[in-house]
Amino acid sequence: MQKNEGRVSKKTSQRWWLVAMLIILGLGVFASSAYFLGFPVGYQGGQNPYYGLTILFNRDGWDALHQWTGLAMILMVLIHIIVHRQWIKTMAVRCYKPQTCEIGKKNWLAQFNIYLNLTAGISFILVAVSGVYLMLMPGRSSAAIAPVIILDWYTWDVIHTWSGILMLIFILLHFYIHWGWITNVSNKMFKLRNSYKKFTLEGVKND
């Protein structure tokens, strides 16, 4: 029994890597978003002192980073939902009738987690849909002639910005709630990797 205590199952390992990818991609999306929020666009008749400013990348570089990390993050989130589809289905069935749902009566954190996942899911849909629209449509300089799909370009831009900020807050709270699982599995995985390296090096020395 003691030999299995430090082991990580294949399923748990896959989920850990999925979370790790979400964190890495999230950092890319967050950094590029901060750049666009912090520095206004356009030459503005020479009145924009930040025009052409380069911080690690130029504006086109940050734009490419934002688009590709955003698309990759959408894919990872969809995979995350598929992996946890059974949990989602179980919680939905159990809470379909609030009067019979026991979740939250004994554990308020469990109920908070359900509402957090729901709001994070809604904000994710808004970010994804608005992001795809903005990616396929002309840029801000041609926003006035961009085709209206339910809403105009400027409204989609506002939705993308604020739903993105809200999603970031929800994701940080989500990670905070599950931080114990993340650190616990991380410690086990890196401990196993170090043990494997030590075993391999000792085997080479013995040969």
Higher pLDDT, 2 or 41: 41
Give 204's pLDDT tier (boundaries 50, 70, 90).
very low
Whole-angstrom distance between the N-terminal and C-terminal Cα of the chain?
A: 31
User: pTM, whole model, 2 decimals?
Assistant: 0.68
2 pLDDT above the threshold of 50:
no
In this structure, what token pair is assigned to residue 182?
């993340």
What is the average per-residue pLDDT within 19-40?
84
196 pLDDT above the threshold of 60:
no
Q: Which helix (H) or strand (E) holds 11?
A: helix 10-38
Higher pLDDT, 204 or 57: 57
Work out whether the CA dihedral 176, 181, 187, 190 comes out positive or negative.
negative
What is the average per-residue pLDDT within 49-70?
81
pLDDT in tens, 87-128: 777 776 666 555 555 555 556 666 777 778 888 888 989 998
* pLDDT value for 97: 59
